Structure 1
């Protein structure tokens, strides 16, 4: 039976030594909660550092810890020395990767010793994992401390399924390129089959670095590398919604002042200093709120042994003192400051007391505190103010979004939250509650693991014979008496443009198609995903057969447009419910119900967002499919779900079955053209561009394929 191995720098348990006694305590929150139900399955395992330096535990104690963690917690400890912790963790991980990935290039250190330690510890993790590996093992690796590990595993175990998730931002190429060891980091990550990030911004940045540094292209966020296909996607991490929503507050009733809550661990990425200055600006600009509001500033100690953090701590204390001194009165202090950690129960009480949560990190991978606050506000009357540079902001668009560097903007945001109409506030919060409830942390983990388990290793051929032999094509074309030419439009006859409307055919292309179609031996069909009205406007005056809407409509040259079949719509309600889940994770998208289909639009979203979602939607719909005939087709910034009988393959068969053709050429560039390649098994099938394909041959560019068509046109 296959097993799943979770790997992270820290285990979901912590081992402490008090005297001669070893004490094991479970971790709470975030990752530990999300993976709990999967990790606790009998055959699964979690590998990581237990929190105790190997210098402080004898070999016998290490053996005892290993036995206890394996037996009672499904965990395998990786014992790191204090030197490892100093160089690999505090050094390269937190003085090089952490600041650079959070856009603090000026704080980034490049030290060959810490880099060597990072390599060594990643190798040591692999050594600990190796005894548990088999060909059917599934491995999910977490976070920036272990970015070399996927490739280390892949080198010796090519068949295992490897997932990697980065819990911090991935920076833009302009920042990432500053890293001396950027190539090694990218190659390490590309050992994985599935690479996950919190947001599509991070996905886009990663793909940009892959393209520019390793010269690798992608199709729908699928990368071809070392004869494998690697998928990259966004999986915004959720929280244990029910836990936070159902907790009761242990504190007394709310104080008379309006409470603005700020909760962070001590870190320069959190924007605490900028937040304090913004609160000072608020008190200055809106004096009527003095004595009526109070900022509860909770800062949890973190990395106190690093000079940068100690300096930040002193800076925060100085600012708090200055603001309280300037604006405080005998019976009112504007800031109530606590430099300490709180357990989750106490934090929930603070969440429930607060009228506003002020979360303004300068850069943050996700920020689960924002989600925890919303879930804890069960009366829907707390308002979230969140930085636009926090990963969670893309999901929580109903909150007040601010620029973390703009004190005036934050001050205005505080005023807006304080003065917000209660009905508006409740309405916004209900929307966010529903979203967090649906996409909770367990769903996040399940979704990632489902995608990872569905991975099928696809070997990409790089042989020269995969490319079209033009002379061979010309010889067969010349000998044939009855020829059928089936051509996709976008990406095959014309290159992609910034906007679809710019891809109209040039006079040169129309002349080429006309000449090919007018040859007495030829029948030419343009089969496109574009709507048939557009095809009529662009190509309707040519002597060609046209197929639009991925095969729903067709028109023989000179005839009227005809519909291919009558559609059964009984599947719509179930599909609509499934698509709602996707909309929650795709800001700017919306669902449109048409007479014969349901469309998921993303014009207001990131342009490439939906391209990578086609297979995911198919998986989600598969359980609903049953005996129905559903298919998903991609259009112009839209994905349509409709009867699977509507596809280019079946449309191509309408024409290929009309005559006994002795030559058929089929050409296309994307996933929707694979149906044609599948149906036309005896044809010269040509894929334009890269990517896994059923086509027999490949041409790299539209320009090269147009040259081939021009060469065929010269044959009489």
Structure 2
């Protein structure tokens, strides 16, 4: 009996020491980031504890992420501080098709323009805060005249906050990669916009070649083996995997600025597998909404052999893990100095009414878009027509001003769409015009930000009727412009912004009657109700600004970089 008792004590002691040593290993992270060892030295009783600790660590990370950005305001200074603390010394490289500044030749010499682009509106303030290099297609007629021998220049003009590296494309490459595959194929495919996607083999070859050229530029610009690369939008679905092949330690954040369709719709693409594999070269893949994240994960599940962890929105493919997360994009909130420099609302209204010849008591609605079939401009015009039919008292007083910057005019779909809008505008004006009164003003030209801001401040309402939109920043820009707490936002339920801006009048743009009713309600809304709604909208947009959007992504990037470095150290210790 004593012998048996002694043996029992010894076994218990050894087991306890083994358990304690294993627990210490857990605390050091030696089995949190890699599987428990197998064989006679393994401690199977530690497996449940390891899994529990691993899951708890992820839960804590998720809680930390959710806590960021809601208790204090995000701004450029906070973003710079984040970069210094979480990504100190790491190089930031942005890749996009559209450049933030375009140099054009004119009769008066070379002028600098900022393109009408939601992407540029969102990303440019981030680059001013972080510095780094922005790689983009050089599309301006004078772009080559102002770069150095390495096709680079510092921007913004007069401030030189970061580098712009321009990539040159031949007309054939631009036609195949940009107008062809990206905008005749991927754009209608992802927007489910009732326009049939067109996929040509020659466009696909051009798309692959241009993606490779931009990827090579990223590698050339990288000063280390692990830069932070921010890939922007559907023009570069293949680039993440191409960069990953040359820079396996890089942290690649891909943000998809347009919607992601359901798996059945995406299955139309003949190269769906290659597109998905390219995107899964990303460390982090961002969309505007959880709905688009869900669609992407389900698409991967349908067409690729990958391990998906739905609880934490991660996809493991070819021994690399990708986090799929929602990051609602936004705008740079204007600071106090900028708002003080604006002309008063009364001054803006006077300028606009005089310039357009509008009546003094006008009820002014504005829309600001590119000439694109996804923006719901036709549906908007139909609603204006119905408003004037249903409530004839608005004839002579209600005016709708549509700013529509021409875009992609090389494509037949876009030319036909613009012609159709012009015909409908002419029809409405023919029906309802009176001496000194024209109900619809179509301004088919690019407007600089100051001109757009003047329109927003002059307007009684802003109308956003996108048929399908990733976010839509026009709605947020209108809110930011209204420091007088007046004005009404009418917003499509199919825009990502509708999930944040609940105090807008949310409409189904396909329902003409509903949108016309919203126009009437906005035109009749008491100032007190306008004030309450606009105050709430402004609070939302101010808190959820572009720096918070970037900060959340960069926080996640910093966390993943730290995890990768810990894993590498743990593996080195295990080998030793």
Superposition TM-score tier, normalisation by shorter sequence: 0.7 to 0.9
Task: Tell me which residue corresponds to 1:12.
Answer: 100
Distance 1:110 1:184 in 2: 14
Q: Is the 8 A contact 1:33 1:441 kept in 2?
A: no
Distance 1:282 1:28 in 2: 30
Task: Tell me which residue corresponds to 2:315.
Answer: 223
**Counterparts in 2 of 1:423 and 1:49: CA distance versus 1, 3 Å:** same
Task: Tell me which residue corresponds to 2:389.
Answer: 284
Q: Is the 8 A contact 1:7 1:47 kept in 2?
A: yes
**Counterparts in 2 of 1:349 and 1:25: CA distance versus 1, 3 Å:** closer
Distance 2:150 2:104 in 1: 10
Task: Tell me which residue corresponds to 2:436.
Answer: 331
**Counterparts in 2 of 1:438 and 1:318: CA distance versus 1, 3 Å:** same
Task: Tell me the SS of whatever aligns to 2:334.
Answer: helix
- 108, 132, 138: which one aligns with 2:221: 132
**Aligned Cα root-mean-square deviation (Å):** 2.6
Task: Tell me which residue corresponds to 1:513.
Answer: none
Task: Tell me which residue corresponds to 1:81.
Answer: 170
Q: Is the 8 A contact 2:251 2:282 kept in 1?
A: yes
Q: Is the 8 A contact 1:227 1:458 kept in 2?
A: no
Distance 2:143 2:513 in 1: 53
Task: Tell me the SS of whatever aligns to 1:269.
Answer: coil
CA-to-partner distance for each residue in 1:385-424, whole Å, 9 max, x for gaps?
1111111111111111111111011011112212223322
Q: Is the 8 A contact 1:228 1:457 kept in 2?
A: no
- 479, 484, 504: which one aligns with 1:374: 479
Displacement, 1:207? 1.2
**Counterparts in 2 of 1:167 and 1:381: CA distance versus 1, 3 Å:** same
**Counterparts in 2 of 1:23 and 1:278: CA distance versus 1, 3 Å:** closer
- 328, 343, 348: which one aligns with 1:251: 348
Distance 2:538 2:134 in 1: 31
- 193, 200, 217: which one aligns with 1:104: 193
Q: TM-score, normalised by structure 2?
A: 0.74
Match runs of 1:670-689 below 5 Å: none
Task: Tell me which residue corresponds to 2:269.
Answer: 179
User: Which has the larger helix fraction?
Assistant: 2
Match runs of 1:416-565 below 5 Å: 416-456=521-561
Match runs of 1:157-196 below 5 Å: 157-196=247-286
Task: Tell me which residue corresponds to 2:454.
Answer: 349
Q: Is the 8 A contact 1:190 1:230 kept in 2?
A: yes
Aligned pairs, how many? 456
Distance 1:42 1:300 in 2: 30
Task: Tell me which residue corresponds to 1:305.
Answer: 410
Displacement, 1:346? 1.1
**Counterparts in 2 of 1:271 and 1:443: CA distance versus 1, 3 Å:** same
User: Which has the larger strand fraction?
Assistant: 1
Structure 1: 5+ residue stretches without partners: 460-716
Task: Tell me which residue corresponds to 1:66.
Answer: 151
Task: Tell me the SS of whatever aligns to 2:367.
Answer: strand
Distance 1:127 1:18 in 2: 33
Displacement, 1:229? 2.3
Q: Is the 8 A contact 1:105 1:175 kept in 2?
A: no
Task: Tell me the SS of whatever aligns to 2:151.
Answer: helix
Displacement, 1:2? 2.6
Task: Tell me which residue corresponds to 1:364.
Answer: 469
Q: Is the 8 A contact 1:265 1:301 kept in 2?
A: yes
- 185, 204, 207: which one aligns with 2:294: 204
Task: Tell me the SS of whatever aligns to 1:140.
Answer: strand
Note if 1:123 corresponds to 2:212: yes
Task: Tell me which residue corresponds to 1:154.
Answer: 244
Larger Rg: 1
Note if 1:93 corresponds to 2:198: no
CA-to-partner distance for each residue in 1:65-84, whole Å, 9 max, x for gaps?
72545995512221111111
Task: Tell me which residue corresponds to 1:50.
Answer: 138
Displacement, 1:27? 5.7
Displacement, 1:32? 4.1
Displacement, 1:224? 1.7
Distance 2:235 2:117 in 1: 19
Distance 2:236 2:399 in 1: 41
Distance 1:400 1:83 in 2: 44
Displacement, 1:30? 4.6
Distance 2:490 2:172 in 1: 41
Displacement, 1:381? 1.5
**Counterparts in 2 of 1:331 and 1:62: CA distance versus 1, 3 Å:** closer
Q: Is the 8 A contact 1:30 1:441 kept in 2?
A: no
Displacement, 1:457? 7.9
Displacement, 1:312? 1.3
**Counterparts in 2 of 1:67 and 1:367: CA distance versus 1, 3 Å:** closer
Distance 1:290 1:19 in 2: 43
Which one has more relative contact order, counting CA pairs under 8 Å at least 6 apart? Answer: 2
Task: Tell me which residue corresponds to 1:388.
Answer: 493
Task: Tell me which residue corresponds to 1:517.
Answer: none
More deviation in 303-312 or 89-98?
303-312
Q: Is the 8 A contact 2:193 2:468 kept in 1?
A: no
Task: Tell me the SS of whatever aligns to 1:5.
Answer: strand
Task: Tell me which residue corresponds to 1:319.
Answer: 424
Displacement, 1:141? 0.6
**Counterparts in 2 of 1:36 and 1:301: CA distance versus 1, 3 Å:** closer
Q: Is the 8 A contact 1:169 1:365 kept in 2?
A: yes
Q: Is the 8 A contact 1:102 1:269 kept in 2?
A: yes
Displacement, 1:288? 2.2
**Counterparts in 2 of 1:215 and 1:416: CA distance versus 1, 3 Å:** farther
Q: Is the 8 A contact 1:16 1:51 kept in 2?
A: no
Displacement, 1:162? 0.7
Distance 1:28 1:272 in 2: 17
Task: Tell me the SS of whatever aligns to 2:531.
Answer: helix
Displacement, 1:41? 6.8
Q: Is the 8 A contact 1:245 1:377 kept in 2?
A: no
**Counterparts in 2 of 1:241 and 1:160: CA distance versus 1, 3 Å:** same
Task: Tell me which residue corresponds to 2:53.
Answer: none
